[in-house]
Amino acid sequence: MRPPFDPTLYLVTDTELCSPRPVADVVRAAVAGGVTAVQVRDKHASRRDLLALTRAVRDALADRPDVPVVVNDAVDVALLAGADGVHVGQDDLPAVEVRALLGPDRLLGLSVESADDLATALRLPPGTVDVVGLSPVWATPTKPEAGPGLGLEAVGELVRTAHAGGLLAVAIGGIDAGRAAAAAATGVDGVCVVSAVCAAADPHAAAATLRAAISPAAAR
């Protein structure tokens, strides 16, 4: 059984953008503001530091068991931290291998950057992947190597294909308060943000603004 997973507003952490504030403090404020799921990502951290960071984020959300904490890439860290899942990209460990290590009780997300990537994901054994991260919607400064954006129309098509295959779909890349509504209107199950929250002077307010843009009724 997977943990509850509401990806409506999915925060992916960036340690440098949060700095000098501890990532866990930014996460805590952002969750209070409306973030519904958290992915701990730090490609520059050692596994030792990433484990400490993930535990700090989990501790900061101890009173919010409804908000899952997922670890980017590092399966060993996710297992040790008791995280709710793992998110992998196309260059990380293959999804089938990650699922073998995770067992059936954790979430697994997979970044897909094209219709081909999604088709491959949909051919995986059922239950391997829970959610695909459509990436990038727009070009993004936090991941310049991701290239130009897919665009809203292509994202909408990928979402429909993912849903038809029984997968959740979230959108990531260049999403800020001004673009969140348009991203959400593609039909995705949630939007991911990095700098829009991590670089915000007030992460609580930034999350609340994003949440209101995505789901006006829920935020009222």
How many chain residues interact with its own copies (CB under 8 A)? 19
Beta-bridge partner residues of 108: 86
In the bound complex, what is the minimum distance in angstroms from residue 75's beta carbon to its own copies?
4
Q: Residue written as tokens 């029984």? A: 166
99 in active site: no
Cβ atoms within 10 A of the Cβ of 213, count?
A: 21
Torsion over CA: 114, 131, 206, 20 (sign): negative
Catalytic annotation, pick one of 41, 58, 99, 106 = 41
In the bound complex, what is the minimum distance in angstroms from residue 21's beta carbon to its own copies?
24
Helices (H) and strands (E) in the chain, counts: 11, 8
97 binds its own copies (CB under 8 A): yes
Sequence letter at residue 148: P
Radius of gyration of the chain (CA): 16
215 in active site: no
Would you say 141 is a known binding-site residue?
yes
Catalytic annotation, pick one of 28, 99, 106, 143 = 143
103: left (phi over 0), alpha (psi -120 to 50) or beta: left
Of residues 1, 62, 91, 144, which one binds its own copies by CB under 8 A?
A: 91
93 binds its own copies (CB under 8 A): yes
66 binds its own copies (CB under 8 A): no
Beta-bridge partner residues of 190: 170
Q: Which residues are catalytic?
A: 41, 111, 143
Q: Which residues bind its own copies (CB under 8 A)?
A: 46-48, 51, 73-77, 79-80, 91-94, 97-98, 100-101
Annotated binding residues, written as ranges, equal 39-43, 72-73, 92, 111, 140-143, 174, 194-195
